[in-house]
Amino acid sequence: MEAKRFYNLMYICILERNTKTVKYVVDAREMKLFEETAIETMGMPSLVLMERAALAVAAEIRAYAGTKLLRAEEKRLLVVAGSGNNGADGLAIARILASEGWYVTVYQAGAAGHCTREWERQHKIMGYYPVRMVSNWPHEEYTVMVDALFGIGLSRPVQGEYADIIKEMNRRKGFKLSVDVPSGIHASTGRVMGEAVRADLTVTFGWAKKGLLFYPGAEYTGRLAVREIGIDRVCFEAAKETPGMFYYDEPLGKLLPPRRADGHKGTFGKVLLIAGFDQMPGAAVLSARAAYRAGAGMVKAVCPDENRGILQMAAPEVLWTAPQDWRAGCEWADVIAIGPGLGKNSRVKEILTGVLTESNLPIVLDADALNLIAGDMRLQILTADQGKAGRALVLTPHEGELSRLSGKALEQVTEDREHAARILSRDLHCVLVCKGARTLVCREQGENCVNLTGDSGMGTAGSGDVLTGIIAALLAQGADAFSAASVGVYLHGLAGERAARRYSSYGLTAGELADAAGEVIAGGAAYGEL
């Protein structure tokens, strides 16, 4: 007991240390608040922020020109500028590169009489530099095109003239760079607002915007460069608010529970896995292997006797117990994971009800456990009551399961997954892992996590079973529910990237994903360092 308490305290210290190094993600409202705080409360001149933003973009364009070995006559830049502050950034970019010898044209979109004050000031300064300004699409081709039409404030579908401009920009050849957000992408949700620029590179300022990370916006963003311009963490205290979302991109070793040299299989956590019923023993195998690879000291599987031989042949380290003895398993365990390959018959429903009613252990609910809860109001109330009472609950639905659990249409969930996940996590008093290309980890209160790791090859049968095992193992080693889920998803994605490098995105299987989790831990990799 003392050893377990030691691990918990050590892990809390590690996580508190790492809250200083996480990367924040903001929505449009948060970014506007921090920008206004920097300007109005802290006294940072808006033109200084704008100049730093323009210099950051200019540096990226220079880097592109250097990579492509552009000759002087090939340095041709077209800036498509709206009438707002995003357009004003574009004018500053045009002026900076014109002073460096680029042939620069600015295409002014929208009504000239409706420009912001900053736009007018940048336009006046730009007038002293050799920049050509036009009000119609120029016939020439350009090596680089800068999209400075709309900023983070876009809230209506792009139509008419602006839609035509975006279509023409997408049609033309040349390297396309978007300033802050690709025009036509909703900065908070990633939705395509009618038409959107397909950028090769997006340079955003301060922090990544949610719409640049969530799909489909991520497809339009191209490579993302986040650049500091003076709106930094100091603004949080001045604004009395912290962004509501973050992501990890640091070495995994900094996030994992500590392991004492004098520890043993009992102190490293015992996972009870209720999975692999009927014709699905592989689900139990995958979850169990992943739990061991993620550091669990012992794993015991509850599954029918007819699947015992398959389970223990595939994973001889796994202990076994019969379904009728699940209560003894709960007394033995530190954590329960239930759902992979479970089925939805009356026998498994009875076990799920008993686990929720008779145990207070941390629990990971996945797959068929979620479908059983979604289809039974009594189980939903029971789950919510357990969470409200303080039990550590982690639910891991994909979008379809989230739709069934929340009672929302799939289209509603897809349109704004974050909102649906936040509401359900509050209703059920749980940590919710909304699986997808950008998995979200939401909780009742505090910052939430978006995961940027992973590979398309993870869209294969059994991938979710592996995640269940990883999260359960981290819980068993002393992590709280949110940390186990967010770090578990990060590890799961890193494992997918490693396995895809070895077997390709086409050939990756869940068994290889489970084994790759151990390899990633051994290497202590971070996102982009595999």
Instruction: Express each pLDDT in 27-39 by its tens digit.
Output: 999 999 999 999 9
Instruction: Express each pLDDT in 281-319 by its tens digit.
Output: 999 999 999 999 999 999 999 999 999 999 999 999 999
In a domain, 20, yes or no: no
Question: pLDDT value at position 525?
Answer: 61
Domain count, the chain: 2
DSSP string, 13-33: HHHHHHTTTPEEEE-HHHHHH
Instruction: Express each pLDDT in 36-60 by its tens digit.
Output: 999 999 999 999 999 999 999 999 9
Instruction: Express each pLDDT in 500-522 by its tens digit.
Output: 999 999 999 999 999 999 999 99
Radius of gyration of the chain (CA): 26
Q: What is the CATH number of the domain that holds 296?
A: 3.40.1190.20
In a domain, 274, yes or no: yes
pLDDT of 5 over the 80 cut: no
In a domain, 416, yes or no: yes
Confidence of residue 529 (pLDDT cuts 50, 70, 90): low
Same domain, 200 and 147: yes
Instruction: Express each pLDDT in 246-259 by its tens digit.
Output: 999 989 988 999 98
- DSSP annotation of 448 reads E
Percent of the chain topping pLDDT 90 = 90
Task: Tell the burial category of 404 from Cβ atoms under 10 Å away from its Cβ (0-12, 13-18, 19+).
Answer: middle
Question: From CA 211, how far away is CA 217, in angstroms rounded?
Answer: 6
Mean pLDDT value of segment 396-410: 96
Same domain, 353 and 404: yes
DSSP string, 34-54: HHHIIIIIS---HHHHHHHHH
In a domain, 16, yes or no: no
Tell me how far CA of residue 485 lies from CA of 253, 480, 488, 497, in angstroms: 16, 9, 5, 18
Structure tokens at 72: 């002087």
In a domain, 207, yes or no: yes
Question: pLDDT value at position 6?
Answer: 42
pLDDT of 86 over the 80 cut: yes
State the Cα angle at 493 between 343 and 450, rounded to 5°. Answer: 95
Handedness of CA 391, 396, 400, 401 (dihedral sign): negative
| Residue whose entry in the numeric block shows the structure tokens 């003894």 | 328
Of the candidates 98, 186, 184, 105, the residue with the CA atom closest to the CA atom of residue 138: 105
Same domain, 219 and 265: no
| Residue whose entry in the numeric block shows the structure tokens 């100049």 | 51
Same domain, 223 and 290: no
Least confident piece of the model among 9-18, 229-238, 369-378, 441-450: 9-18
In a domain, 56, yes or no: yes
Same domain, 362 and 510: yes
The answer to whether 144 touches 74, Cβ cutoff 8 Å, is no
The answer to whether 329 touches 302, Cβ cutoff 8 Å, is yes
Q: Would residue 43 be called left, alpha or beta, if left means φ above 0 and alpha means ψ between -120 and 50 degrees? A: left
Question: pLDDT value at position 244?
Answer: 96
Question: pLDDT value at position 131?
Answer: 97
Residue ending a domain, choose from 219, 244, 269: 244
Q: Would residue 69 be called left, alpha or beta, if left means φ above 0 and alpha means ψ between -120 and 50 degrees? A: left
Q: Would residue 194 be called left, alpha or beta, if left means φ above 0 and alpha means ψ between -120 and 50 degrees? A: left
Mean pLDDT value of segment 198-226: 97
Same domain, 258 and 224: no
In a domain, 137, yes or no: yes
Question: From CA 415, how far away is CA 409, in angstroms rounded?
Answer: 10
Confidence of residue 13 (pLDDT cuts 50, 70, 90): very low
Of the candidates 406, 274, 403, the residue with the CA atom closest to the CA atom of residue 349: 274
pLDDT of 230 over the 90 cut: yes
The four Cα atoms 85, 56, 171, 185 give a dihedral, to 10 degrees, of -50
The answer to whether 318 touches 311, Cβ cutoff 8 Å, is yes
Question: pLDDT value at position 21?
Answer: 58
Confidence of residue 12 (pLDDT cuts 50, 70, 90): very low
Question: From CA 141, how far away is CA 103, in angstroms rounded?
Answer: 11
* Of 279 and 392, more confident: 392
Mean pLDDT value of segment 417-432: 96
pLDDT of 343 over the 90 cut: yes
**Secondary structure (3-state) at 150:** coil
pLDDT of 18 over the 90 cut: no
Mean pLDDT value of segment 177-184: 98
Same domain, 368 and 469: yes
Question: pLDDT value at position 260?
Answer: 87
Same domain, 193 and 271: no
pLDDT of 349 over the 60 cut: yes
Mean pLDDT of the chain: 93
Cβ-based neighbour number of residue 2 at 10 Å: 7
Question: pLDDT value at position 527?
Answer: 64
Same domain, 383 and 491: yes
Question: From CA 405, how far away is CA 375, in angstroms rounded?
Answer: 8
Residue ending a domain, choose from 244, 269, 297: 244
State the Cα angle at 420 between 419 and 423, rounded to 5°. Answer: 85
* Of 162 and 524, more confident: 162
| Residue whose entry in the numeric block shows the structure tokens 């020109």 | 65
Same domain, 307 and 222: no
Same domain, 299 and 194: no
Same domain, 158 and 98: yes
The four Cα atoms 302, 364, 462, 316 give a dihedral, to 10 degrees, of -40
Q: What is the CATH number of the domain that holds 30?
A: 3.40.50.10260
Mean pLDDT value of segment 76-95: 97
Instruction: Express each pLDDT in 517-526 by its tens digit.
Output: 999 999 876 6
- Could you tell me where the DSSP H helices lie in 246-303? 281-293
pLDDT of 110 over the 90 cut: no
Amino acid at 464: G
Structure tokens at 195: 């038409």
Q: What are phi and psi of 441, to 5 degrees?
A: -120, 110
In a domain, 7, yes or no: no
Parent domain of 459: 252-523
Residue ending a domain, choose from 195, 221, 244: 244
Confidence of residue 10 (pLDDT cuts 50, 70, 90): very low
Mean pLDDT value of segment 201-228: 97
DSSP string, 347-399: HHHHHHHHHHHH--S-EEE-THHHHHHHT-HHHHHHHHHHHHTT--EEE---H
